[in-house]
Amino acid sequence: MAEPRTYEKRKADTIAQLEAAEADAWVATASTDGVAHMVPLSIGWTEGRIVLVTESRSITARNLGASHRARVAVGSTRDVVMIVAEMLAAYSIADAPPQLLRSFAVQSGWNPSTTSAADGYRLLELRPVQIQAWREGNEIAGRTLMTHGEWVGSQPQNS
């Protein structure tokens, strides 16, 4: 088993995974009546925001519209970045802030505003509230990198 990474290393690795070209994530949401949904989606990462683009009629868009909450996993099951995120805003593609749309398009390699069906999509802006990152069992301690929307810093921690 490899040595556990430091807080600073985990934070750097996490940001690298979030801003990688063609990064994508498992996005889990729930309906108000308690049915879990999960899909893989391309992500954008800019200025501390996660950008998603989904069809307006998708279950993910509907669930986020109701709950404003998602759980977003980046990386693999053996190199986990697990994020609890809240949705700040949902935009039509035409009305999306240019910086968010551009960031998503460059990172994902897909510009939704150039598709003929752009009207059917929404750009969703999410803010991470909690971020945890771990690889092996020896990284469970110290896995919490962000709570309440703030990076925790490198002080000792147990969770």
3-state secondary structure of 14: helix
The single residue listed with the structure tokens 């986020």 is 64
140 lies in the binding site for a second copy (CB under 8 A) = no
Which is nearest to 31 in space by CA: 67, 70, 85, 58? 67
Q: Report residue 34 as tokens.
A: 């308690």
As given in the structure block, the two tokens for residue 12 are 């750097």
Answer yes or no whether residue 70 interacts with a second copy by CB under 8 A.
yes
Chain residues 34-53 in contact with a second copy, contact rule CB under 8 A: 34-40
Nearest in space to 83 (alpha carbons), one of 130, 141, 14, 139: 130
- The one among 6, 76, 99, 138 contacting a second copy by CB under 8 A: 76
Q: How far is the CB of 24 from a second copy (least distance, A)?
A: 4
> Is residue 152 within the footprint of a second copy (CB under 8 A)?
no
Smallest distance, Å, CB 107 to a second copy? 14
Interface residues with a second copy (CB under 8 A) are: 24-26, 28-40, 63, 66-67, 69-71, 73, 76-78, 80, 82
